[in-house]
Amino acid sequence: MTAHVKPKALTDYKPRDFRMLIDGAWTKGAGVIERVAPGHGSVVSRYPAGTRADAERAIAAARKAFDDGPWPNMTGAERSNILLRAADLIAARADELAFLDTIESGKPISQAKGELGGAVDIWRYAAALARDLHGESYNTLGEGTLGVVLREAIGVVSIITPWNFPFLIVSQKLPFALAAGCTTVVKPSELTSGSTLVLGEILLEAGVPAGVVNILTGTGPEVGSVMTTHPDVDMISFTGSTGVGRLTMANAAQTLKKVSLELGGKNPQIVFPDANLDEFVDAAVFGAYFNAGECCNAGSRLILHKSIAADATARIAELARKVKVGDPLDPATQVGAIITPQHLEKIGGYVAGASQAGASVALGGEALDLGLGQFMAPTILSGVTSDMAVAREEVFGPVLSVLTFETTEEAIRIANAIDYGLSAGVWSRDFDTCLTIGRKVRAGTVWMNTFMDGASELPFGGYRQSGLGRELGRHAVEDYTETKTLNMHIGARTNWWAR
């Protein structure tokens, strides 16, 4: 039986009303979107329902701010100082932002506070990169030639973010675009827009000029479609499902916009007999149930050596039973609510399908009735094979699939036998084994004897249908630039026609 923390009703909380940010002004929409807290079952936020006209106004404001405004022409130091002020203001309002992310997404409050700390670090890191963005020079091209390569801000960037990490993911994109000198139109998920709208207040207070950051709320078909097709948008940075990523790429192709996509994952942890099982078991439970499994980096596939599979699965189940599921606002909670009733039903469908295909439910497998909201029990499926949907498709819930292998070659084959390639893990005391897996598994990040660690300095992104491009790391700012070559001739030029 999983440990439960029953939700308390939000009887003393008054739903918060928000407005969109367009050209430095807060504006209403044509309608209202109400957000029901997934962990408490009551309305907690109301956002404007943005329209195509709102999106066009926001893009026009960003275009004008880029073409005529001061932001792209500021020195790197000036932009850096504003981003540092923003980081300080985010830190000062971290509790407010974490609370909003918790009630709107259903994630545990302790986790949300940790994410805010990570976001502040990213903003400070991006601020440092604003001063370090530079081009190249070539004085080796001959006596009469000097080559200079400039890096210039790409222009207007549409940033579209998902519901599972509302503040953290916008922080993996927006500060780097701003550091490069771009102007932006940001659309958070219509399920979790609150903290991004508060970020708009913070950026205005920090000194970001009007029109540089515009924040729209609304649906993808109404607002996102304009942001991904409009000819005045130069680049799209999108995080979300692979299916919507394909649509975004198709939309961008109409005007050949640059596209950065961070999409789905079906991430394996490969475990060899010589692994430290105590450490692995803890990492397996964390990797599967962090953020209720609603995480592109979730370690949702365990690929265990046959000789240890039964013991490891039993130990994982024993620890998973102690995981506290329930009220997102309780500091003791480790697994919060599922984002919507429809998504909870989808997760249950994957479990049912796996059972019908021959897998066994070793733990959980059912929705939990805790009186308020929607919750899913931490689930373990054993006897999973590579051809099952639950082993190939992103469930995006607290469901762990256990597969087995006998040889290193078989483990690599199983790990790579999917369309995704976001991250992976390998557990072994033998560094040769870890390095072999690290080089052969096709994933953007491979953790060795740990899982889901990260730092602002390390690039993040995937292979294949997990996306295009990389976020974070020292080159993140460069993603939001174009390169321009200046080819300079010194002295008299050779007369071509008179040779």
- Residue 386, domain extent: 268-323+378-448
Number of compact structural domains in the chain: 2
Evaluate whether 216 touches 20 at the Cβ level (below 8 Å): yes
- Is residue 306 domain-shared with residue 257, that is, in the same domain? no
Q: What span, in angstroms and rounded, lies between the C-alpha atoms of 4 and 337? A: 12
CATH of the domain at 42: 3.40.605.10
Is the confidence at residue 498, as pLDDT, over 70? no
Is the confidence at residue 495, as pLDDT, over 90? no
Mean pLDDT of the chain: 96
Is the confidence at residue 493, as pLDDT, over 80? no
Specify the pLDDT at position 499.
60
- Is residue 194 domain-shared with residue 259, that is, in the same domain? yes
Q: For 163-191, what is the mean pLDDT?
A: 98
**Closest to 317 in 3D by CA, of 378, 385, 398, 275:** 378
- Residue 143 confidence class, pLDDT cut points 50, 70, 90: confident
- Cα–Cα distances in angstroms (integers) from residue 469 to residues 253, 387, 461, in the given order: 16, 29, 6
Is the confidence at residue 159, as pLDDT, over 70? yes
Active-site residue set: 262, 296
Percent of the chain exceeding pLDDT 90 equals 95
- Is residue 74 domain-shared with residue 168, that is, in the same domain? yes
pTM of this structure: 0.96
- Is residue 133 domain-shared with residue 240, that is, in the same domain? yes
Residue 69 within any structural domain of the chain: yes
Residue 455 within any structural domain of the chain: no
3 state DSSP class of 417: coil
Ranges of H-type helices in 325-386: 341-356
For residue 411, what are the contacts with CB-CB under 8 A and spacing of at least 6?
A: 270, 303, 305, 405, 437
Specify the pLDDT at position 3.
81
Specify the pLDDT at position 1.
62
Residue 34 within any structural domain of the chain: yes
Specify the pLDDT at position 466.
95
CATH of the domain at 312: 3.40.309.10
- Is residue 399 domain-shared with residue 299, that is, in the same domain? yes
Residue 368 within any structural domain of the chain: no
- Is residue 313 domain-shared with residue 184, that is, in the same domain? no
Specify the pLDDT at position 196.
98
pLDDT (tens digit, 9 = 90+) per residue, 11-48? 889 999 999 999 999 999 899 999 999 999 999 999 99
Residue 111 within any structural domain of the chain: yes
- Is residue 100 domain-shared with residue 170, that is, in the same domain? yes
Q: For 120-146, what is the mean pLDDT?
A: 95
Q: What is the largest CA-CA distance in the chain?
A: 90
- Is residue 278 domain-shared with residue 235, that is, in the same domain? no
Q: For 310-317, what is the mean pLDDT?
A: 97
- Residue 4 confidence class, pLDDT cut points 50, 70, 90: confident
Is the confidence at residue 445, as pLDDT, over 90? yes
- Is residue 30 domain-shared with residue 71, that is, in the same domain? yes
Q: What span, in angstroms and rounded, lies between the C-alpha atoms of 427 and 388? A: 24
Residue 482 within any structural domain of the chain: no
Percent of the chain exceeding pLDDT 70 equals 99
- Is residue 281 domain-shared with residue 177, that is, in the same domain? no
Is the confidence at residue 488, as pLDDT, over 70? yes
Strand partners, 158: 185, 236
Q: For 215-227, what is the mean pLDDT?
A: 96
- Is residue 289 domain-shared with residue 389, that is, in the same domain? yes
Structure tokens at 257: 């916009």
- Is residue 255 domain-shared with residue 309, that is, in the same domain? no
Residue 358 within any structural domain of the chain: no
- Cα–Cα distances in angstroms (integers) from residue 73 to residues 214, 295, 305, 309, in the given order: 19, 38, 57, 59
Residue 481 within any structural domain of the chain: no
Ranges of H-type helices in 5-161: 52-68, 76-92, 94-105, 109-130
